[in-house]
Amino acid sequence: MANPNLTPLEDALDHLLSEAPVVTQIETVALANSLGRVLAENHYVPADVPPADNSAVDGYAVRKQDLHGDQPIPVSARIPAGEAPKPLEPGTAARIFTGSEIPEGADSVVMQERIEVTDGGILVQAQVDEGQNIRRRGQDLTRGDLALAKGTQVRPNEMGLLASMGAAQVAVLARLKVAILSTGDELVDPGTPLGPGQIYNSNRFTLIGLLSEAGCEVVLCETLRDKREATRETLLRAAESADLIITSGGVSVGEEDHVRAVLEESGSLSLWKMAIKPGKPVAFGAIGGTPVLGLPGNPGSVLVTFLMVGMPYIRKRQGRNPKALSGERIPADFAISSASVRREFVRARKEPRGSEPVVAAYPNQSSGMLSSTCWADGLAVVPENTTVSPGDLLTYYSFAELLS
């Protein structure tokens, strides 16, 4: 049975994505600095790539009809890469190298391993098919075609493709500016000696890493003390410089959980409490016109909710082209005997078992177990109201896919 007080994941995502305005500011960056950025415009092919027929191998350019069994054929030219060749003389071959332009009159290239060089010329020692070992003009890209669409996130692959079209600079969307606010008087920064009741602020650094992987710019990192007015002042100040505020902690029902209360009093709160485990106390609202995503305080919950809720929202804000998660269906190597009304995201990893992989779960799934997130390589999904026995097929998402 579903809990009517908890919002299903799909409903929460539908709401968040409907409230996810795309960044509109455009920047022009050098191609060398474009990795991870999102293209702000379509890129059409300005000229055929390659610009001319060229050789795929080192060898000899010939005209098939000039080959006559065991009769040698003289070599009349040498064509290094980067030089425009003269037409091939009838009845001859041309020495050619990988990437060299095919001379007019040649219709095939024979790789050098299939050639015997004699005093009278070359002997071809293989079957020759017209067009073999020739990369045709426009084979990769044809002038006028759409090569890369607006909203594409640039990987090394796209950098190379843009370079092949002669692009030295590209227009990209500005990075999403994010403020990270951690809540709790008990939090201290690493490098500071711990006092009684204090703990190190690990969530800040988890979120800095996740946001860096996601291509965002962190513009503010502060700790919210457990005071209502201090929380309000810091949230309003963060709203002035950030496109998005992410908080950790302070969204539950405790007397010192002020983030949710401030959003209700001084901004808006449109989502609170989701039907996922870990991570039930997720909040979404706005203050000072800036969206606020409130994550739970437990470190395991921070990772899960950021990946499953925060990343889809961030991708939409970044203008990235939508891409559905595919995951993998893998047999479980663990058991869950007690069904939950919430969808559970188990910190897990793939492990070999014979000829097929299985998905293994970290033994302690407490949301406070940060070590579990380092042991794991992804999340296994246990549907609502479901128990798990070894061998049951579960959907598994790798961290790499969830962050891509």
Of 63-67, 156-160, 222-226, the one with minimum mean pLDDT is 222-226
Q: What's the pLDDT band for 254 if we cut at 50, 70, 90?
A: low
Question: Which residue spans within 113-227 are E strands per DSSP?
Answer: 115-118, 121-124, 134-135, 146-148, 169-173, 177-183, 187-188, 199-200, 217-224
Q: CA-to-CA distance for 171 and 114, rounded, in angstroms?
A: 48
Average pLDDT taken over every residue of the chain: 94
Is 90 exceeded by the pLDDT of residue 4? no
Q: What is the pLDDT of residue 371?
A: 95
Burial group, residue 208, by CB count within 10 angstroms (0-12, 13-18, 19+)? middle
Task: Tell me the mean pLDDT in the region 225-236.
Answer: 92
Task: For residue 375, give the nearest of 300, 306, 307, 308 by alpha carbon.
Answer: 300
State the angle between helix axes of 228-241 and 259-266 in degrees (0 to 180), rounded to the nearest 10.
Answer: 70
Look at residue 252 in the predicted model and tell me its pLDDT.
66
Amino acid identity at 364: N
Give SS3 for 16. helix
**pTM for the whole thing?**
0.86
Beta-ladder partners of 281: none
Q: Which residue has the higher pLDDT, 398 or 253?
A: 398
* pLDDT at 226 exceeding the cut of 90: no
Question: What DSSP character marks residue 388?
Answer: B
Band of residue 72 on the pLDDT scale cut at 50, 70, 90: very high
Look at 6-15, 152-161, 182-191, 244-253 and tell me which has the smallest mean pLDDT. 244-253
Kindly indicate the confidence band of residue 2, based on its pLDDT and cuts at 50, 70 and 90.
Answer: low
Question: What type of residue sits at position 342?
Answer: R
Cα gap 325→10, rounded to integer Å: 13
Strand partners, 358: 351
At 84-102, the pLDDT tens digits run 999 999 999 999 999 999 9
Rounded to 5 degrees, what angle do the CA atoms 73, 75, 77 make? Answer: 150
> What's the pLDDT score for residue 159?
98
Measuring CA to CA, which residue among 171, 183, 128 is closest to residue 31?
A: 171
Per-residue CA distances from 176 to 33, 200, 288, 312 (Å): 17, 27, 17, 13
Evaluate if residue 255 carries a pLDDT over 60: no
Q: What is the pLDDT of residues 9-55, one digit of tens each?
A: 999 999 999 999 999 999 999 999 999 999 999 999 999 999 999 99
What backbone torsions phi and psi does residue 217 show, to the nearest 5 degrees? Answer: -110, 120
**d(Cα 50, Cα 27) in Å, to the nearest integer?**
29
